[in-house]
Every structure is written in C-alpha cells, then in structure tokens.
C-alpha cells in the first residue's frame, strides 16, 4: 500500500489535491469557493428576494408555483411605490440631508484629528475618553433636551437641526471619523512640518498645504462612510426633521400609512391593495441610490482600510 502512495503519480495527485509548500491544493480551493459562494449567497439572498418579489404581479404573488421567476415583467409595483414614496422629492431631501452634514462633519473631524495627532497638550487622554463616550452614549440619552431646545428655537424640521451638531464635531458617529483622521495624520512625517515652520508658515497654512493633501484618501473615505451612515440613520432624523423634511427612509418607515392615503383600502379593488410586492419595490427604491453609489465607488469602501492607514488601535 505504501509503495503505491509513494509512486510519482500518486505524489502529484496528492499535491494537486491537498497542496504543497508553494501552492494550495484543489481540495482547499473547492472548499474555499464553496464557502465563499455560500456566504455570498447569504448576503445576496435578501436583496435577490427583495428584487424578485418587487417584480411580481398580484397574480404571481397568489400563485404558489411562482417562487423565483415571475411569469411576466411587471412594473406596476414600482409605479405605485414611486408615487407613495413621493420619490423625486424625498430622494432630493435624502441626498441633501446626507451630503451637507457629512461635508461639515468630515472637515471638522479632520481639524480635531489633526489637533490631537500633531500637538502635545495637557488633557489628551481625557479628550480621547470623551470621544469614546460620544460613541457609546445611546442617542436616546441626549435627544430629548436637544429636541426641546430645537423646538423652542423653531429649528425642528429645519435642516439646521442636523447640520449644527455636525458643524461642532458632534455629528453621527463623529468619533470614528476623528479617529480615522488621527490615525492618518499621526503617520505623517514630522520633518515636512518642521521645514515649513522654519520657512515661517503658520499652523493653518501647514495644515492646509501639507496635512490635507497627504490625507486626501482619508477625506474621501470619511466622507463616503459619513454619507452612507447619515442616509441610513433614522432615529435622530425622524425626531429632528419630522414635520419639516421627509427623507427616503422616513417615508419608507410610514409606507403603509402613506399608501392608504393615496389608495384608500375601501375604494380600490383587491388587486390594488397594499401587498408585499409594493413594499419590496419601495424598499428597493430606497436602497437603489446607495447601491449605485456603492458600485461606482466600491474601491473606496473595499480598500478604505489600506487607503486611510487605519491600524485598528
């Protein structure tokens, strides 16, 4: 038996299957791809489910034979979801209400990160502890007084309600962005700065001409993540903007109600009642802009770690 295993062909077969020192075996690769595909499916399945359900006509929904392949291309759900979501308006609001705070948040976070990374001063550990605290403290522990103050100032429903905290470095998940900038500025060689200082450049000038250009990837990554998180944030957005502005996720969260306002259940026939296909169309329309953005900018998400030099501390 053993001499068969030592035969050159058996040896090569073994190396092919189980791999050797320099390469991975076929078996390993099969297992690897099987797992990758299985996990990939776990992530894609809800999206696929959402997309396919959104294409189903009322007949397909009732037909138990139709699971994964709708019998016809049916866009009626999208037509309705589009109207219920008031799509162009809410889309524009969502874009504005995620880009404006994100821009401010990114700029302010970079200033704070720079201050923490490049200057020695008393109390830095305290600042870091407080940063961590802002990340941990649940929003419902601070939101009520803020809301009441905004109400007194007449700022509820006003874009400023989201913009002001971002402007003062207290935007959504701002601690993470400050740490990203801290990480990327701390790896900047001090020599550049010192030579600029000798040339008489002011601190602001050094920041703008040396630090900012060198941390450009960090700016882009921070801005993109900030936009995504602001877009998806609904707890604070609902409380601050309710009654004034309506973002896409806000409208989605009251989809049923909005649908019944447009199509009162008593007056439309049974096929025009709200069903899961319409809901899934609405959900899909809600994430579509993010999906488009993700596929265009995917490199910045996927390689964000390498680009910003986050080290995981």
Partner 1 sequence: MTMRRLFRRGISLRAREALHGYAFILIWIVGFSIFTLLPLIQTFFYSLNQVTVTASSINLSFVEWGNYTRALFTDPNFIELLIGYTIETLVSVPIVLIFAMIIALFLNLKFKFKDLFRVIFFLPIVITSGPVIRELTAQGAASAPGIADLPAVVDFLTQLPRALRTPVEYLLTSFILILWFSGVQILIYLASLQKIDKSIYEAAAIDGASGWEQFWKIILPSLSTATIVNAVYTIVTLSHFSENQVIRHIYDQTYDVQGGIGYASAMAFIYFAVMILLLGIVYFFLVQWAKRSGQ
Residue ranges in 155-194 that form contacts with partner 1 under rule CB under 8 A: 164-165, 167-170, 178
Residues 197 to 236: which contact partner 1 by CB under 8 A?
203, 225, 228, 231-235
φ, ψ dihedrals at 122, nearest 5°: -75, 140
Longest dimension (CA), the chain: 89
Q: Which is nearer to partner 1, 43 or 88 (CB)?
A: 43
Does residue 313 bind partner 1 (CB under 8 A)? yes
Yes or no: say if 219 and 105 are a contact pair by the CB < 8 Å rule.
Answer: no
Q: Which is nearer to partner 1, 7 or 151 (CB)?
A: 151
DSSP 296: H
Q: Which residues, 6 or more positions from 80, have their beta carbon under 8 angstroms from its beta carbon?
A: 259, 262, 263, 278, 281
Q: For CA atoms 241, 242, 245, 246, give the dihedral sign.
A: positive
3-state secondary structure of 19: strand
Q: Which is nearer to partner 1, 170 or 214 (CB)?
A: 170
Q: Which is nearer to partner 1, 220 or 290 (CB)?
A: 290
Does residue 298 bind partner 1 (CB under 8 A)? yes
Min separation Cβ 263 and partner 1, Å: 18
Min separation Cβ 287 and partner 1, Å: 5
Min separation Cβ 244 and partner 1, Å: 18
Q: Which residues, 6 or more positions from 223, have their beta carbon under 8 angstroms from its beta carbon?
A: 102, 103, 106
Q: Which is nearer to partner 1, 7 or 140 (CB)?
A: 140
In the structure encoding, which two tokens stand for residue 170, read together? 């207290």
Residues 99 to 138: which contact partner 1 by CB under 8 A?
108, 111-112, 114-116, 118-122, 127, 130, 133-138
Helix axis angle, 276-302 relative to 255-262, nearest 10°?
130
Residues 272 to 291: which contact partner 1 by CB under 8 A?
276, 279-280, 282-283, 286-287, 290-291
Min separation Cβ 217 and partner 1, Å: 14
**How many angstroms separate the CA atoms of 309 and 14, rounded?**
41
Q: Which is nearer to partner 1, 74 or 247 (CB)?
A: 247
In the structure encoding, which two tokens stand for residue 54, read together? 């959104």
Yes or no: say if 145 and 240 are a contact pair by the CB < 8 Å rule.
Answer: no
Yes or no: say if 110 and 116 are a contact pair by the CB < 8 Å rule.
Answer: no
Does residue 196 bind partner 1 (CB under 8 A)? no
Please work out, in degrees rounded to the nearest 5, the angle formed at the alpha carbon of residue 35 by the alpha carbons of 29 and 40. 125
Does residue 305 bind partner 1 (CB under 8 A)? yes
Q: Which is nearer to partner 1, 7 or 168 (CB)?
A: 168
Q: Which is nearer to partner 1, 164 or 215 (CB)?
A: 164
Residues 21 to 40: which contact partner 1 by CB under 8 A?
21, 29, 32-33, 35-36, 39-40
Does residue 266 bind partner 1 (CB under 8 A)? no
DSSP 24: B
Out of 144, 208, 262, 268, name the contact with partner 1 by CB under 8 A: 144
């Amino acid at each position: 038996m053993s001499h068969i295993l030592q035969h050159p062909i058996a040896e090569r077969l073994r190396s092919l299957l189980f791999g050797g020192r320099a390469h991975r075996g076929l078996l390993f690769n099969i297992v690897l791809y099987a797992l990758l595909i299985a996990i990939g499916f776990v992530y894609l399945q809800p999206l696929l489910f959402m997309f396919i359900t959104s294409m189903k006509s009322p007949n397909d929904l009732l037909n138990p034979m139709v699971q994964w392949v709708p019998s016809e291309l049916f866009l009626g759900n999208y037509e309705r979801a589009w109207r219920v979501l008031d799509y162009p308006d809410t889309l524009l609001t969502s874009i504005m209400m995620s880009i404006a705070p994100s821009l401010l948040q990114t700029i302010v976070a970079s200033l704070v990160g720079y201050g923490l990374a490049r200057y020695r001063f008393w109390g830095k550990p305290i600042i870091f502890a407080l940063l961590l605290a802002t990340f941990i403290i649940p929003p419902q522990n601070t939101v009520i007084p803020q809301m009441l103050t905004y109400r007194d100032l007449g700022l509820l429903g006003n874009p400023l309600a989201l913009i002001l905290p971002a402007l003062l470095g207290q935007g959504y998940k701002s601690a993470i962005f400050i740490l990203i900038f801290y990480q990327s500025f701390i790896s900047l060689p001090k020599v550049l700065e010192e030579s600029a200082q000798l040339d008489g450049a002011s601190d602001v000038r050094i920041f703008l001409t040396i630090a900012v250009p060198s941390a450009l990837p960090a700016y882009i990554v921070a801005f993109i993540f900030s936009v995504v998180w602001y877009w998806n944030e609904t707890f604070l957005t609902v409380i601050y903007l309710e009654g004034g502005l309506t973002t896409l996720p806000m409208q989605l969260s009251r989809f049923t109600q909005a649908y019944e306002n447009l199509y009162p259940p008593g007056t439309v026939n049974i096929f025009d009642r709200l069903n899961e296909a319409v809901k899934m169309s609405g959900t899909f329309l809600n994430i579509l802009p993010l999906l488009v953005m993700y596929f265009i900018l995917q490199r910045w998400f996927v390689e964000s770690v390498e680009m910003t030099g986050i080290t995981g501390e």
